[in-house]
Structure 1
Amino acid sequence: MKKIVILLCFLWMGFIFYMSSNNGAISHEQSNRVVNIIEKTESKLKTNGESKAAISKEPKVNNNDGKANVKQVKLDSLDHIIRKNAHGFMYMVLALIVSSALFTFNKKGKDAIVYILFICLFYAVTDEFHQAFVPGRTSLISDVLVDFCGALIGLTVFYLFYYKLRRRNS
């Protein structure tokens, strides 16, 4: 079991490295796919929610460029939110896996928390440093903070489930 958890940890770190190695165009394309899925789902929900009587048979001509700009700002904002959530999610999973790895080696309590957070923070910093050398990508301190917040959430989730299961088994 110990070897499997350690392997999972390194595989997830490799996945994070791989995702960080994608140039800016590929990374943007990946997040745009998610934005497009959300946009299509939202438009389907809106059309299904409209009554048939309210839908006109005449084609609507819309020459308002302001609406197009507002829509683009909305899509850019959604893209930004998706990117930050992806950062947080990846490090949340990393914290869960690192926590599992340390628990298999019987490292628990305050010592384990310090090691888990150090490993996740160190990897986030080195990941952002690595991104500085990838074309079209940037290295941001705010991303390190988002990564660390994701790790904190992962650690909290792990400890909540661990102690809930421990209490149930007692």
Structure 2
Amino acid sequence: MKKIIIILCVFWMGFIFYMSSTNGEISHQQSTEVVNLIKNTETKLQTKGENETINKNTINQQQVNENNLDYVIRKNAHAFMYMILAFLVSGLFFIFNKRGKDAIVYILFICLFYAVTDEFHQSFVLGRTSLVSDVLVDFGGTLIGLTFFYLTYYKIYERYSIKRKESLKI
């Protein structure tokens, strides 16, 4: 089990590195595909009987909405990737019986350090920028992942372990 968690952590860090290595045009294209998918789904959900008058303001508003959606998708992708990373790193610490406040500090440090170095790496990629706000979004994702891991562990795993120990005593 230890090897699997280590491999998953290394794989996920590699995946984050790979995604940061894609140039700005490809990265933008990927998020645009998601925006188009959402836009097409929204269009299909609209009733066919609606008669919209299309004017310049409507087109401009649609572009603004698409740009905002693109921004939200990009930031959520950052948070999601680091949420998964924090979950995996937390699992790694727990597998090696490192728990408590010290483990939390180390997990947060590892994920924050990786976010900072990832943004630094991204500054050398064509068409990409390095933003402190992205590090903060990554760290927010880390906090969510860490919280989710601890809630999962203490609410599910420990409860299951206690019930299992009680059933063995009987």
Verify: 1:76 aligned to 2:76, yes or no.
Answer: no
Rounded to whole Å, the distance in 1 between the matches of 2:27 and 2:50 is 38
Query: What CA deviation, in whole Å up to 9, does each residue of 1:91-135 have, x standing for no partner?
Result: 000000000111110001111101110000000000000010001
How many residues of Structure 1 are paired with residues of Structure 2 in the alignment? Answer: 161
Look up the match of 1:120: 111
Query: TM-score, normalization: structure 2?
Result: 0.91
Look up the match of 2:11: 11
Look up the match of 2:155: 164
Alignment match of 1:139 (pick from 114, 117, 130) = 130
Rounded to whole Å, the distance in 1 between the matches of 2:91 and 2:38 is 33
Rounded to whole Å, the distance in 2 between the matches of 1:72 and 1:99 is 40
What SS does the corresponding residue of 2:128 show, helix, strand or coil?
coil
Rounded to whole Å, the distance in 1 between the matches of 2:91 and 2:53 is 58
After the TM superposition, which parts of structure 1 deviate over 3 Å for at least 4 consecutive aligned residues?
A: none
**Deviation of the 1:4 alpha carbon:** 1.0
What letter is aligned with 2:161? N
Rounded to whole Å, the distance in 2 between the matches of 1:78 and 1:70 is 12
Q: How does 1:52-131 map to 2 (within 5 A)?
A: 54=49, 62=54, 64-131=55-122
Pairwise CA RMSD of aligned residues? Answer: 1.3
**Deviation of the 1:168 alpha carbon:** 3.8
Look up the match of 2:168: none
**Deviation of the 1:55 alpha carbon:** 5.1
Rounded to whole Å, the distance in 2 between the matches of 1:111 and 1:55 is 59
Q: Which runs of 5+ in 2 are unaligned?
A: 163-170
Query: What CA deviation, in whole Å up to 9, does each residue of 1:56-105 have, x standing for no partner?
Result: 7xxx774x111111100000000000000000000000000000111110
What SS does the corresponding residue of 2:46 show, helix, strand or coil?
helix
Rounded to whole Å, the distance in 1 between the matches of 2:160 and 2:4 is 26
Rounded to whole Å, the distance in 2 between the matches of 1:127 and 1:9 is 15
What letter is aligned with 1:169? S
Look up the match of 2:42: 42
**Deviation of the 1:169 alpha carbon:** 2.8
Rounded to whole Å, the distance in 2 between the matches of 1:69 and 1:91 is 34
What letter is aligned with 1:107? K
